[in-house]
Amino acid sequence: MYDRQEIYLNGAWTTCSTGVFIEVVNPATEEVMGQIPSCGETDVKWAVAAARDAFEGWGRMPVELRLSFLRKIHEGMVARSEEIAQTITAELGIPIKLSRRIQAGLPIAVMESYVKLLGEYPFEERIGNSLVLKEPAGVAACITPWNYPLHQVIAKVAPALAAGCTIVLKPSEVVPLSAFILAEIIHEAGLPAGVFNLVSGYGEPVGEAMASHPGVDLISFTGSVRAGLSVSNLAAATLKRVALELGGKSAAIILDDADLAAAVKGTAASSFVNSGQTCSAHTRMLVPESLYDQAAALAVEVAATYVPGDPLSEQTRLGPLVSARQRERVLDYIRKGVNEGAELLCGGTEPPEGLEQGYYARPTVFGRVTPDMTIAREEIFGPVLSIMTYRDEDDAVRLANDTIYGLAGGVWSGEVKRAEGVARRLRTGQVEINGGAFNILAPFGGYKQSGHGRELGKYGLEEFLEIKSIQFK
């Protein structure tokens, strides 16, 4: 059991004010694997007060000293990387091989990137008779989701610490345990009391109390559009800065000169990784009408290689969905796809063979999906890929942009320049050309209802900075 009895406040493990706990369930076995405190408004008040008291000292601490703490945290994450991977596999259900690389390896790499960036970032510059200063914004409330739990935490905590902000963190109550490991690492690193505070619990009341607290200067939130709207509304009363990373319904445009097999394989991989529980997943595959039959056949072949199984097996590529609620949500979308006339090429609502226990869903591919269908418009957050056809390049761009979201996308072509031309026309925060690799130094974030603000690299650091100019006579 991964029982967590206390929260981390003002440099110490502290009893939660409510005395209430939330069970953490292993999605592969459906068994309770641990518990965390279910905090209330009082705990948030304590955490914000501690962060406020610590801000002056941390914000004015020389960069070299802040850098030394970030190095220690990075070293602690490396030392506990296998424990992090095993814990996230247990609470999320992602296969252990992927967990080591993505759920443990990625946040470690992001933390290391901020260690390097902090040592060279120019916090001051001269412009004429002005000295322009980039200063920490203050107390940062960080609210994170369950699908990439430690990565999303580090994408906020690392730049906030580097900027000189103090932090109140609320991880997802569904997959919270890696955040507690991080708090232990931070404690061992000797970070000054109050600089980092961890409160756990539900969005209501904990997240709402963080968003509305007058002692919080800015909020960095990742989650659903619905929850993002709530955070924004609550923050507006005190004019807090808000950075939002929300949902997506990203399209991969496969042009007529692309390597079709590679393009279909890459798009399916984006759609199925982490059981499809990825906000930037390329869940709409756009192909020329003339290539539809080939693309559909290839997609079915690729989907067959994603056999659901035990996430602790080194051979498993597709684990369960995170919860019974999430599985039912995904199955409901599959039903809607069938009922609205999409062609079910593979998958469906039946449990995978031999996996009646656990929150598993079959990798599902729909063909002949039209823009008006629910599965073409709403974020499913499961292993479901929709194939759509287009007439010409202009039509492909129109279809790709025909969404309330704008987080990610892909373009596949035999000519990189042609692909770049199409990528420039997409209204989205990032575009991969021919499966271009994720870059932790490049900005991550979206257009439209995918949110605003950016994470990672210097762009993520600058979300936690204020700008001051001093004029000299």
Active site positions, annotated: 245, 279
CA distance 86 to 33: 13
8 Å CB contact between 254 and 291? yes
Residue 52, phi then psi, degrees to nearest 5: -65, -45
In this structure, which amino acid lies at residue 193? A
Contacts of 201 (CB under 8 A, 6+ apart): 22, 36, 37, 38, 39, 40, 43, 170, 173
DSSP structure class, residue 206: I
d(CA 438, CA 34): 33
Cα separations (Å) of 288 from 46, 75, 295, 366, 391? 57, 49, 9, 16, 6
Of all residues in the chain, what percent are helix, strand and coil, respectively (each to 5)? 40, 20, 35
How many CB atoms are located within 10 Å of the residue 184 CB? Answer: 14
> For residue 275, what is the DSSP state?
G
State how far Cα 443 lies from the chain centre.
Answer: 13
Q: What are 163's two structure tokens?
A: 């900027």
**Total length of the chain:** 473
Pairing state between β 218-222 and 196-198 = unpaired
Residue 130 pairs with which residues in a beta bridge?
127, 471
Report d(CA 322, CA 221) in Å as an integer: 20
Helix (H, G, I), strand (E, B) or coil at 201: coil
Residue of 309, 374, 319, 306 whose CA lies nearest to 346 = 306
